[in-house]
Amino acid sequence: MQAQIDTAYMAAALDEARAAVSDGEVPVGAVLVGGGDILARGRNRSIGDCDPSAHAEIVALRTAGAAAGNCRLTGSTLYVTLEPCAMCIGAMVQARISRLVFGAYDLKAGAAGSVIDLTESKAFNHRFEVNGGVLADECAAVLREFFALRR
């Protein structure tokens, strides 16, 4: 049952990634879910916003935090199409999410197990469940197609 739920929300994150392509952004999408509802959506906006921190995960966390009037997003699950970087893992720790579900592994900058695993760091005061590889092929294909057109 959880696998079906994760697949459905990852499909929503993929919609955000595809929308990022039309904005000229690297196609990474995210949705933050709590209580069975999508609380926030995000897609990469670093180029358009001239903001190196405007990754899909950060955009979704900022939106949800503003809507909730709270920087703590306990009980929530963040779905993202690409394994998060170190900056994004740090933001998830600060937001106190409960779960991270990601699609494609990032063998260059992934911080949830590929290059480094900050989700297991004893230095952080919060940990969350991690499930990687959900719709990994579809998530990776969106990125491959984007970069193939740019080369």
Find where tokens 């929308």 sit.
19
Annotated catalytic, 57?
A: yes
Choosing from 16, 25, 57, 83, which is the catalytic residue?
Answer: 57
Both tokens of 66, joined, read 């503003």
Find where tokens 């990776």 sit.
140
- Inter-axis angle of helices 56-68 and 2-22, to 10 degrees? 110
Q: How many CB atoms lie within 10 A of CB 68?
A: 14
Largest CA distance in the chain: 42
**Is residue 30 within 8 Å of 81, Cβ to Cβ?**
yes
Residues classed as catalytic: 57
